[in-house]
A and B are shown apart, each in its own frame.
Chain A
Amino acid sequence: MSHKATIPIGPYHPLQEEPEFYKLVVEGEKVVDVDVRIGYNHRGIEKISESKSFDQSIFIVERICGICSSSHPIACVQAIEDIGDIVVPERALHIRSIIQELERLHSHMLWVGLAGHFLGYNTVFMWGWKYRELICDIMETVTGNRQNYAMHKVGGVRRDIEKEHVPYILTRLDEFLHHLDMIKGSVLDDPVLHVRLKGVGVLTMEDAIGYSALGPTARASGVNIDVRRDHPYAAYDRVKWNVITQKEGDVFAKAVVRILEMYESVSIIRQCLDKMPAGPIDSNPKDIPPGEGIGNAEAPRGEVFHYVRSDGTNSPVRHKVRAPTYMNFPTFRQTVVGETVSDATIILAAIDPCYCCTERMLIVDSEDKEILSAQDLIRLSQEKTLKLKEKMRVK
């Protein structure tokens, strides 16, 4: 005799800052089934992008996500550069790598803090986020913004890294590294954390490959993939670094991968600053010819993929975005089922889900029947536009 109950996590829940719905079917504390509903925050980024010019569409994709505000633009500009075979100056490539790695540093640090918070370890939460400020300071110095850096453009980057900023960046990185050592020690050597995280939410290598998991989620399961090495972009093939993998596939392995990746990022930034050649930062391309191009980049959460098709006009006719979290969501069925509710939250958080990167829409009622299809939604939206137009007396 089993008694099943439904535990909702979301759409509004202290676990997450953004709306997402995980339906956990539980027997007592044990999770027997999980259902993930995404698409509570549909913004139609792809459609908007198709109505903008190429330069503006980079501005739009930068706003897909506040955390990956370098990965999306970098993938997008690479897709556009792919269409026109545009050559990017060497200095700009190095700057792109630096910005991308700074983003990874702050994103991974943010995750360490959040993971602590989800475990009720608020000290790690506060400390992690305090150390992340150092990286945000560097970002502000180099790009002018803590988030949404607006650094990447087709053909190069918008701003140069000034010579007098380099010592500042290096001292801040040293400071960060010092704190990172401490966080590494306190997280990786804490016996209570070991008990809490080891062997929890295991994603086997076969499942990681089968579900096409990406980024640290896959690397923690022993899948040796990294876009930065496999399809080198920016300046990643000019510097020496390692792809971090772990075999275990549990939450602890995912934490280890992220923490060790931060060391690699610091090393990449240092090498790039060292090797950065002088020269222009922008090749100022004028026209985008007809054609199609793809661009991919290793975002902190995995591979982000952009496809852009151009018909020779000023704006893309098709712009497709695939964010890494979209590929990592389905792994929950393997990792969460069979664990307890206490562990479910940290397992859900372990892939570092980025909800705003993952936009689709579906409205369902309590019986899980689709009550509005995509066509209905388009019809509804058109009707509303008509009504508004009548109201405002415009044609």
Chain B
Amino acid sequence: MTYMAKALEYAFLYLIFPGFLFSSAMGLLIGWIDRKVTARIQWRVGPPWYQNFIDVLKLLLYKETLVPEGVSKTFFLGMPAVAMASATLVSTIILVINAIPQKGFIGDLIVLVYLLAMPSIALMLGAFASQNPLASLGASREMKLMLSYELPFILSLVVPIMKSGYSIRLGDILIKQANNGSLIGSPSGAISFFVMLLCIQAKLGFVPFDISEAETEIMAGAYIEYSGKALGIFKLAKAIMTFAVPIFLITLYFGGIKFSPVGFIKTILQFILILVLMIVIKNTNPRVRIDQALKFFWGPVALLAVLSVALAYLGY
């Protein structure tokens, strides 16, 4: 019976709150904020708040799902599901640990790093499976982009680990920050946060790093053969990522989500700060070339990450 209850609890956490249903709703809402702010920057009016919901519902319910001829269906249609499942898992784990820091397990941070990479890998495999030259170009760009941003991403992740006494449990990082103040206050934490912000810009495929789906170059690249439900699920996975990744940053650098009334408003403000920073970067830059992205991430950004690690080692 207890096993049954446990299974039900996990199913609820994963599927409804704070998992799939909640996260995707939040993600789509954030997608609307992105579109609205972008529109205002560009002197347009922008869509109503429910625009992203009806967009995804249209894809999921009404549009035909086409599979190219001679393509492995398992791979082609399975990959959106993999992306979706891992994005949801990321969101669930981060939010549950934020609510109950003791709930985590040893190495959950490492698991999260892998899960955060999964949607990109799934997109890549799906694109390669579709056998379209533009899709494979997009997928190879996605692969190179991953190679470039993962290095500074993991390097800057070392700072919170070092600051929390070499713990790879997210809960410990939260508890340490609750006792000693947020990591963003320290020099090493601030630099590491800045590096992380650039990395997630690439992870979420925002301009200037929307290289793998560059609309005017390779026509949505990796997504080109996807339609209907498969595309809708990819879009949902991406929406969940845009919700979960800023929360991940808040957890690591701002001491996590606070549940007191004042703290909760603070958390929302922090979330909006990260989001607006991302949107501003997105709207004031042209798309870069993949080799430039690689040079950028392995050059100055990686150096900054190393600097932050060195500062953390020295105790700043």
Q: Is B133 an interface residue (CB 8 A)?
A: yes
Q: Is B210 an interface residue (CB 8 A)?
A: yes
Which A residues are in CB contact (< 8 Å) with B291? 340
Question: What interface size band does chain A fall in?
Answer: 20 to 34
Residues of A contacting B: mostly: helix
Q: Is A196 an interface residue (CB 8 A)?
A: yes
Which A residues are in CB contact (< 8 Å) with B179? none
**CB contact list, A5-50 vs B, under 8 A:** 5-7, 13-15, 26, 28-29
Contact B207 A5 (CB under 8 A): no
Cα separation A344 to B289 with both chains bound (whole Å): 11
Q: How far is the CB of A131 from chain B (nearest CB, A)?
A: 10
Cα separation A196 to B295 with both chains bound (whole Å): 13
Contact A120 B208 (CB under 8 A): yes
Which A residues are in CB contact (< 8 Å) with B216? 14-15, 117-120, 345
Which B residues are in CB contact (< 8 Å) with A15? 216-217
Q: How far is the CB of B140 from chain A (nearest CB, A)?
A: 7
Cα separation A120 to B210 with both chains bound (whole Å): 8
Q: Is A134 an interface residue (CB 8 A)?
A: no
Q: Is B270 an interface residue (CB 8 A)?
A: no
Contact B286 A13 (CB under 8 A): no
Contact A29 B41 (CB under 8 A): no
Contact B137 A116 (CB under 8 A): no
Q: Is B74 an interface residue (CB 8 A)?
A: no
> Of all chain A residues, which has the CB nearest B289?
A342
Contact A192 B286 (CB under 8 A): yes
A119 and B286 in contact, given A14-B216, A341-B137 (Cβ under 8 angstroms): yes
Q: Is A121 an interface residue (CB 8 A)?
A: yes
Interface flags for A89-117 (1: CB within 8 Å of B; 0: not) read: 00000000000000000000000000011
Interface flags for B219-257 (1: CB within 8 Å of A; 0: not) read: 100000000000000000000000000000000000000
Contact B42 A193 (CB under 8 A): no
Contact A340 B289 (CB under 8 A): yes
Contact A126 B284 (CB under 8 A): no
Q: Is B2 an interface residue (CB 8 A)?
A: no
Q: Is A211 an interface residue (CB 8 A)?
A: no
Contact B283 A192 (CB under 8 A): no
Q: Is B218 an interface residue (CB 8 A)?
A: yes
Which B residues are in CB contact (< 8 Å) with A53? none
Q: Is A360 an interface residue (CB 8 A)?
A: no
Contact A123 B215 (CB under 8 A): no
Point out the residue from A126, A193, A340 that lies within 8 Å of B286, measured CB to CB: A193
Interface flags for B32-64 (1: CB within 8 Å of A; 0: not) read: 000000100111100000000000000000000
Contact B211 A123 (CB under 8 A): no
Q: Is A278 an interface residue (CB 8 A)?
A: no
Cα separation A15 to B218 with both chains bound (whole Å): 9
Q: Is B288 an interface residue (CB 8 A)?
A: yes
Cα separation A207 to B286 with both chains bound (whole Å): 29
> Of all chain B residues, which has the CB nearest A124?
B286
Cα separation A196 to B140 with both chains bound (whole Å): 20
Cα separation A94 to B118 with both chains bound (whole Å): 65
Cα separation A219 to B116 with both chains bound (whole Å): 49
Q: Is A130 an interface residue (CB 8 A)?
A: yes
> Of all chain B residues, which has the CB nearest A16?
B216
Cα separation A26 to B136 with both chains bound (whole Å): 12
Q: How far is the CB of A292 from chain B (nearest CB, A)?
A: 43
Contact B43 A127 (CB under 8 A): yes
Which A residues are in CB contact (< 8 Å) with B44? 126
Contact A7 B218 (CB under 8 A): yes
Contact A6 B133 (CB under 8 A): yes
Which A residues are in CB contact (< 8 Å) with B207? 120-122
Contact A343 B134 (CB under 8 A): no
Cα separation A364 to B274 with both chains bound (whole Å): 53
Q: How far is the CB of B202 from chain A (nearest CB, A)?
A: 14
Contact A123 B284 (CB under 8 A): yes
Contact A29 B285 (CB under 8 A): no
Q: Is B260 an interface residue (CB 8 A)?
A: no
Point out the residue from A118, A122, A196 that lies within 8 Å of B283, measured CB to CB: A122
Contact B137 A29 (CB under 8 A): yes
Q: Is B287 an interface residue (CB 8 A)?
A: yes
> Of all chain B residues, which has the CB nearest A120?
B287
> Of all chain A residues, which has the CB nearest B214?
A120
Q: How far is the CB of A350 from chain B (nearest CB, A)?
A: 13
Top 7 closest A-B pairs, CB basis?
Answer: A120-B287, A126-B42, A119-B286, A121-B286, A342-B289, A118-B216, A123-B283
* Supplied contacts A5-B133, A121-B286, 14 more A-B pairs, CB within 8 Å: A7-B134, A7-B137, A117-B216, A120-B215, A120-B216, A120-B287, A121-B207, A122-B38, A122-B42, A122-B283, A126-B43, A192-B208, A192-B285, A193-B286
**30 A-B Cβ contacts within 8 A?**
A7-B134, A7-B218, A26-B137, A28-B140, A29-B137, A29-B290, A117-B216, A120-B207, A120-B208, A120-B210, A120-B215, A120-B287, A121-B207, A122-B38, A122-B207, A122-B283, A123-B41, A123-B283, A126-B42, A126-B43, A127-B43, A130-B43, A193-B286, A195-B288, A340-B289, A340-B290, A341-B217, A342-B289, A342-B290, A344-B217
